[in-house]
Amino acid sequence: MNIQAKKLNISQVIITSNRESNWVDSLSENQQKDVLEGLDQADRGEVVPHEEAVKLFGKWGLK
């Protein structure tokens, strides 16, 4: 499964999950680790401002 398919799969899980259930439990162990790592990075301020991300991804025609 390529990275785009994985992202779509995770997005689908989030969208279709019951708000009362913990959607993280439906992710693989590696996906859960990635989510927690991202949250830790955000807590440490290791983020890219939205405007910079738009500029970066705009180079590839992504918006």
Residue 44 has pLDDT above 90, yes or no: yes
Mean pLDDT confidence for 7-31: 77
Where is pLDDT greater, at 11 or 40?
Answer: 40
Q: Do the beta carbons of residue 37 and residue 16 sit within 8 Å?
A: no
Mean pLDDT of the chain: 82
> Alpha-carbon distance 14 to 26, whole Å?
9
Where is pLDDT greater, at 18 or 14?
Answer: 14
What pTM, to 2 d.p., does this model score? 0.50
Mean pLDDT confidence for 13-25: 70
Angle value at C-alpha 42, between 16 and 27, nearest 5 degrees: 30
pLDDT of residue 19: 60
Structure tokens at 42: 């955000």
